[in-house]
Amino acid sequence: NAGVTQTPKFRVLKTGQSMTLLCAQDMNHEYMYWYRQDPGMGLRLIHYSVGEGTTAKGEVPDGYNVSRLKKQNFLLGLESAAPSQTSVYFCASSKGLLADFGPGTRLTVT
Amino acid sequence: AQSVAQPEDQVNVAEGNPLTVKCTYSVSGNPYLFWYVQYPNRGLQFLLKYITGDNLVKGSYGFEAEFNKSQTSFHLKKPSALVSDSALYFCAEKAAGNKLTFGGGTRVLVKP
């Protein structure tokens, strides 16, 4: 049981490049979330999903897209990266009230 | 709109002294409230939750939290802090749609 895993762990992008962050969970959880963590701002919800094939916007969705084609995977895409998207990204999943978090992806956009 | 506030960016405490980390929430009705801890370069770990019932909730590593509906607060406490408790602590609330919303975080520094 690997829990929640995130790929990659680190990435450096140039402005305008695109990339996809992968989140995978093996706990059969219905709900999955993407957050970004910035100093002094806590974790802010980007997008979330309440089940396979469904996604919804969170607090800071602009500049990001997501897909949940399979129940166990939740992808976060940056179509054209900007320096403001430099952050640590956390994925989480939950079935009931408790959420399990991945280890994070540190993304730097230069 | 829901929001979670942690009014202190940092809390400094001497080892062995009581530790309190403050949190206030704004969701109406019966909130689901949580505390998570983050150690350096790690993901978030669950500490404790309040769903219903007793206002004093006990969690992992000797932590507890007191739910106060009249003050809309959910402060985290530990009677005797350890140096190893130094970390970043987040309060969170869960509302309709299963959205989990976090406060800004409070850094705890426990000095020997």
- Give pLDDT tens digits for B56-80: 999 989 999 999 999 999 999 999 9
Average pLDDT for chain A: 94
Q: How far is CA B71 from the centre of its chain?
A: 15
What are the residues whose beta carbons fall under 8 Å from the beta carbon of B74, sequence distance 6 or more? B23, B24, B25, B33, B35, B50, B65, B66, B67, B68, B91
Spatial separation of the C-alpha atoms in residues B41 and A83, rounded to whole Å: 21
Residue B30, pLDDT > 80, answer no
Three-state helix/strand/coil letters over A4-29? EEEECCEEEECCCCCEEEEEEECCCC
- pLDDT band, very low/low/confident/very high, at B97 (cuts 50, 70, 90): low
pLDDT reported for residue B42: 81
- pLDDT band, very low/low/confident/very high, at B2 (cuts 50, 70, 90): low
Q: Least CA distance to A99: which residue of chain B? A: B46
Interface contact flag, A90 B43, Cβ < 8 Å? yes
Task: Select from B9, B1, B4 the least CA-distant residue to B72.
Answer: B4
Q: In chain A, which among 64-103 make CB contacts under 8 A with chain B? A: 90, 92, 94, 97-99, 101-103
Interface contact flag, B44 A43, Cβ < 8 Å? yes
- Give pLDDT tens digits for A39-48: 877 889 999 9
Q: How far is CA B31 from the centre of its chain?
A: 14
CB pairs under 8 A between A and B: 54
Residue A61, pLDDT > 60, answer yes
pLDDT reported for residue A89: 97
Residue A20, pLDDT > 90, answer yes
Q: Least CA distance to B6: which residue of chain A? A: A42
- Judging by beta carbons within 10 Å of its beta carbon (0-12, 13-18, 19+), is residue A110 exposed, middle or buried? exposed
Interface contact flag, A98 B9, Cβ < 8 Å? no
φ/ψ of A4, rounded to 5, equals -105, 125
Q: Least CA distance to B34: which residue of chain A? A: A98
User: To the nearest 10°, the Cα dihedral for A76, A96, B9, A12?
Assistant: -20
Helix (H) or strand (E) holding A49: strand A42-51
